[in-house]
């Protein structure tokens, strides 16, 4: 019998299934362990000492610590996760609104001309200053046009 045939004979399909199943359970276990540790730090209701106690319990006796934590505090784990996701979404929406709204506040040429008219009406600028400022606004804040040779 060759080495490959012997390996297939020694490690049947059912054993391969159980190996895959055990590996899947270990991965599932580590995901649960990390979620519990993250939840311990996320919970604002726990004091620092309680967080340290739960963390030590989950590290020293990981299986028992995680199962006890899930039984004792598992109901609110989902609520805390949803609250954090909602807070992140609100912060993102606020950032998008602020960023998108930044371009809307730039005054248009009409707004600038209206302000200039108000300033001239109050007498703060002369008609000549108004004309120069109006040319700047209408030329889109560029350099003033060269004087005409009239």
Write out pLDDT tens, residues 66-92: 999 989 988 888 888 899 999 999 999
Average pLDDT over residues 137-142: 70
Q: Which of 21-25, 37-41, 103-107 has the lowest mean pLDDT?
A: 103-107
Please determine, for residue 145, whether its predicted confidence score (pLDDT) is greater than 90: no
pLDDT band at 103 (very low <50, low <70, confident <90, very high): low
Please determine, for residue 104, whether its predicted confidence score (pLDDT) is greater than 80: no
pLDDT band at 14 (very low <50, low <70, confident <90, very high): confident
Euclidean distance between CA atoms 132 and 147, whole angstroms = 11
Average pLDDT over residues 50-74: 91
Please determine, for residue 147, whether its predicted confidence score (pLDDT) is greater than 60: no
The residue ranking higher by pLDDT, 49 or 142, is 49
Average pLDDT over residues 107-122: 85
Q: What is the DSSP letter of 141?
A: T
Average pLDDT over residues 106-112: 77
Return the half-sphere exposure (C-beta side, CA atoms, 13 A cut-off) of residue 48: 0
- 0.95 surpassed by pTM: no
Euclidean distance between CA atoms 1 and 67, whole angstroms = 48
Looking at residue 105, its pLDDT comes to: 59
Positive/negative CA dihedral, 132, 138, 139, 140: positive
Looking at residue 87, its pLDDT comes to: 93
Euclidean distance between CA atoms 5 and 53, whole angstroms = 53
What 3-state DSSP class applies to 45? coil
């Amino acid at each position: 019998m060759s080495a490959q045939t012997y390996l297939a004979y020694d490690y049947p399909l059912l054993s391969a299934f159980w190996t895959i199943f055990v590996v899947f359970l270990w991965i599932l276990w580590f995901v649960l362990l990390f979620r519990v540790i993250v939840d311990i730090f996320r919970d604002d209701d726990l004091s620092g000492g309680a967080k340290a106690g739960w963390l030590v319990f989950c590290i020293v006796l990981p299986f028992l610590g995680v199962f006890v934590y899930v039984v004792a505090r598992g109901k609110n784990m989902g609520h805390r996760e949803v609250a954090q996701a909602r807070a992140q979404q609100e912060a993102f929406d606020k950032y998008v609104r602020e960023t998108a709204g930044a371009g809307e506040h730039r005054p248009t040429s009409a707004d600038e001309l209206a302000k200039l008219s108000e300033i001239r009406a109050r007498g703060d600028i002369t008609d000549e200053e108004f004309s120069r400022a109006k040319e700047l606004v209408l030329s889109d804040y560029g350099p003033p046009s060269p004087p005409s040779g009239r």
